[in-house]
């Protein structure tokens, strides 16, 4: 029977112990997943953010035809004030609501700017049948706003749920990979990532 020299056996044992400690450390640092219903709440919020972003190309078309500016600071301030009031009534922190909706406005404008830049480069003619902002686009946004406020209340609650922030970050990684909507989605998600 052959024996390993003591210094070889000792160094082999040290390596095995070090490897086990690394594995244990990895297990300890991995955050648990939040409960299934909380994962579903985060996924619902991501879906709502996307639904709102899907309206941006319609706004871009309408503004392309009318020549209206993408920036509308007075209207944004008015909407932010209304949303903050409605959010406070729903128990959502007013500053959190303002930051979130401001990010949604910016994300939408990023999509609009990108489209307007492309259309300028293509020397695009006006659209034949652009959507009407007042009749077709704003009603969609008006229906989404209360749902987003409700989802914000959930996000506010999830700030205290273990693993919720990590789950949101993991979901955000895939959510922001898209070439067209990736950057706007990052903008839209930032207040949630900051909160969770």
Please report the pLDDT score of residue 31 as a whole number.
67
Please report the pLDDT score of residue 8 as a whole number.
47
Contact yes or no for 133/59 (Cβ under 8 A): yes
The predicted model gives 115-138 an average pLDDT of: 94
pTM of the full structure: 0.81
Distance (Å, rounded) from C-alpha 190 to C-alpha 82? 21
* Span 147-196, pLDDT tens digits: 999 999 999 999 999 999 999 999 988 888 877 788 999 999 999 999 99
Residue with tokens 């205290």: 160
* Span 33-67, pLDDT tens digits: 999 999 999 999 999 999 999 999 999 999 999 99
Contact yes or no for 31/166 (Cβ under 8 A): yes
> Which of 29-38, 86-95, 144-153 shows the lowest mean pLDDT across its residues?
29-38
Under DSSP, the state recorded for 92 is -
Please report the pLDDT score of residue 12 as a whole number.
54
Please report the pLDDT score of residue 173 as a whole number.
86
Between the alpha carbon of residue 114 and those of residues 3, 70, 107, 120, 151, the distances in Å are 71, 11, 11, 10, 28
Distance (Å, rounded) from C-alpha 184 to C-alpha 181? 5
Instruction: Indicate the average pLDDT of the chain.
Output: 87
Please report the pLDDT score of residue 64 as a whole number.
96
């Amino acid at each position: 029977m052959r024996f390993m020299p003591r210094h070889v056996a000792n160094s082999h044992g040290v390596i095995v112990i070090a490897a086990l400690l690394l594995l244990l450390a990895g297990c300890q640092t991995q955050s648990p997943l939040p409960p299934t219903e909380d994962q579903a709440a985060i996924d619902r919020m991501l879906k709502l953010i996307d639904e709102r972003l899907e309206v941006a190309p319609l706004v871009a078309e309408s503004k392309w035809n009318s020549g209206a500016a993408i920036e509308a600071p007075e209207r944004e301030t008015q909407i932010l004030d209304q949303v903050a009031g409605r959010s406070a009534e729903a128990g959502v922190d007013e500053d959190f609501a303002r930051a979130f909706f401001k990010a949604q406005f910016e994300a939408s404008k990023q999509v609009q700017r990108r489209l307007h830049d492309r259309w300028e480069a293509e020397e695009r003619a006006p659209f034949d049948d652009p959507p009407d902002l007042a009749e077709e686009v704003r009603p969609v946004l008006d229906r989404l706003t209360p749902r987003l406020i409700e989802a914000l209340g959930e996000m506010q609650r999830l700030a205290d749920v273990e693993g919720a922030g990590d789950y949101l970050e993991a979901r955000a990684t895939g959510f922001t990979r898209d070439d067209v909507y990736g950057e706007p989605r990052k903008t839209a998600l930032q207040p949630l990532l900051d909160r969770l």
